Amino acid sequence: MRSTWGMGLAAGLMLAGCGAQSPEDIAAQEEADAQAVQDVLAANTPPPMKVALMPMDYADFEREGLLGASCAFVIDDEVFALAMPDIGALKYNGNVERFAPDAGSAEGPFDTRAKYDGRELSFRLAVSGTQERTGDELWSQPAQLSVHDGYDRIVYEAAGSAECGA
C-alpha cells in the first residue's frame, strides 16, 4: 500500500513541476520565439539587389521583337519599361530582360497587365488618371513603375507616364 501511495505522490509532484505557465511566461516565450524566427530570416535573406534601369530605344525593340500594341513607361521621353499583352521588358545591366505577364493581375490598356514576372525581378505598372490623346493611335496617362526583387522588396520606383498605343 505504501508503495502505491509513494508512486502516486511522486507522479503528482512530477506533474506539478510541469504545471500550467502563467500568461506572462507564455507571452514572453511567444515573443522570444517570434524574434528567433525573425533573426533566422534576416540572417538568410540577401540584401536587396541594386537596379539601375536603362532607357530602351527602337533598336532594342526591333532586335528583341518588341513591336506592336503596348504601353511604354516613359520619363522625359525615354522608355524604361514596356508592357505588352504577351511580354514585358526592362533594360538593366546592359541587357533587355523579358518578363511574363501575371494573368492574375489587373488588366491594363491594350490587353496589358499590371504585373510582369521575371527570373530575378518583377515589375508593376500602375496606370491612372485621365487619358490624353497624343497621336492617331497613341494615348498618354500618368503611371507609376515599381520593380521588385524576389523577396517582393521595391528596388526601383518612379513616376512617369504610360504611352499606350498600337
pLDDT in tens, 120-151: 999 999 999 888 888 888 999 999 999 999 99
What pLDDT shows up at residue 1? Answer: 46
Q: Per DSSP, what are the bridge partners of residue 71? A: 83, 164
Q: Per DSSP, what are the bridge partners of residue 123? A: 116, 147
What pLDDT shows up at residue 4? Answer: 52
For residues 82 and 154, give the distance between their C-alpha atoms in angstroms, rounded to a whole number.
18
pLDDT over 60 (residue 158): yes
pLDDT over 70 (residue 7): no
Q: What tens digit of pLDDT does each residue of 13-40 get?
A: 454 445 578 888 888 889 988 888 887 8
Q: Per DSSP, what are the bridge partners of residue 125? A: 145
For residues 43 and 13, give the distance between their C-alpha atoms in angstroms, rounded to a whole number.
42
Q: What tens digit of pLDDT does each residue of 40-99 get?
A: 877 778 888 889 999 999 999 999 999 999 999 999 999 999 999 999 999 999 999 999
Cα 166 to Cα 3, 97, 119, 129: the distances in Å are 93, 22, 28, 20
Q: Which three cell numbers stand for residue 133?
A: 490623346
Q: What amino acid is encoded at 158 in this protein? A: A
